[in-house]
Amino acid sequence: MVLSIILPAYNATMTISETIESVINQTFLNWELIIIDDGSTDGTHEIVNKYMEKDKRIVLIRQKNKGYRSVRNTGLELAKGKYISFIDSDDKMRPELLQNLLIAIEKYSAHLVVSGYYVVKKDSTIVEAYKYEEVSSNDPLNEIGSRFIGSLPDRKDSIMPAVWSNIYIRDIILKNNIRFITNNNIVGEDLIFNLNYLKCINKGLVSSITGYEYTLSAESVTRKFERNKINQSLNTIKYLSSSFQTFFSNQIKFEKRLQMNFLLSLYEHLILLDYGCKFKSLKNQHREILSNSSIRETLLTINLFDYKLSRITFIFIVRNKLYFVTSLMNKFRKRQY
């Protein structure tokens, strides 16, 4: 077996058929698709069973609901392939994606290949395409991992830290006991997985290949406010700083990328999320966020002169707790898609 594809599924009857079909239609044929049904209460497993009857490369595991982080870890334990890939149950792969990724990983003798992706609507209309410039690295943690964390303040060089458009080597994952973090107080489990993997390899490739389709759902467009998310983001920043900083050769740039990660997270929470409430309540919630002592402490570490004017303006607003302004920005924000 050359490639194992891990597919978590929970109540995915509306989308999983297209996802499975996109794997079946790959030009590369030597794969196994491990589908873990994480306690679905709909007919997800019945749909998968029909595909299993037709294609012996498809494997179904059913378990009690534990969350998709645990599901992916289950998939890693069961995988038999030399290489590992991931796909989500509402996304798709273009037919030549896996073949192109495997050609690239063998051509460059790489231990990881990172590829671009398309953001698409349910009808497959492309909303946005993310294609990376090809870079082969013998120092993948510093040269690729740093970009997973975020951009430097004066440039846009970040790479989406997701696992679903990449190819990994199974033996490296198992030998180093690399798994998805299951601590629900921390977000960014894909980023943490990628950084732990990059610590263990010496050759990585950022590829110009683009063939994964990330499908926008109603939830991903609306992005409802959840009160604990900002604290989870702060916990993640602290975790990344304490767990990975010493592994990076340029720790100053590491901190600047973390700060950029934090600012984008704060911008998302304040401006992009839908709070679903009236303006007065929105102001109160923004005031609560901007009064958070950990947020204020982090904001004070940021050097304004590292940033462009638009970001300096945002930093000035949040540092001075101008929650009326952030509330107005939220109400009049441009919907992205």
**Region of residue 20 (left: phi > 0; alpha: psi -120 to 50; beta: else):** alpha
Q: How far apart are CA 79 and CA 30, in angstroms?
A: 13
Distance in angstroms (rounded) separating the CA atoms of residues 293 and 264: 18
Residues 193 and 163: beta-carbon distance below 8 Å: yes
Counts for the chain of helices (H) and strands (E), in that order:
15, 10
Q: Which has more confidence, 235 or 334?
A: 235
- Taking all residues of the chain, what is their mean pLDDT, rounded to a whole number? 93
Question: What does the angle CA 66 – CA 67 – CA 73 come to, to the nearest 5 degrees?
Answer: 85
For the chain, give the percent of residues with pLDDT over 70: 96
pLDDT for res 223: 57
DSSP-derived letter for residue 334 is: P
**Domain residue limits, the chain:** 3-216, 221-331
Q: Region 208-212: what's the mean pLDDT?
A: 97
Handedness of CA 301, 305, 310, 313 (dihedral sign): positive
**Separation between Cα atoms, residue 246 and residue 305, nearest integer Å:** 25
Can you give the pLDDT at residue 124? Answer: 85
CATH number assigned to the domain with residue range 3-216, chosen from the 4 options 3.90.550.10, 3.60.15.10, 3.40.47.10, 3.40.50.1000: 3.90.550.10
Please say whether the beta carbons of 30 and 2 come within 8 A: yes
- pLDDT (0 to 100) of residue 225: 61
Q: pLDDT tens-digit profile of 70-102?
A: 999 999 999 999 999 999 999 999 999 999 999
**pTM > 0.85:** yes
Res. 188 pLDDT band, cuts 50 70 90: very high
Tens digits of residue pLDDT in 103-115: 999 999 999 999 9
Looking at the predicted structure, is the pLDDT value of residue 325 above 60? yes
DSSP state of 2: -
**Residue 67, pLDDT above cutoff 90:** no
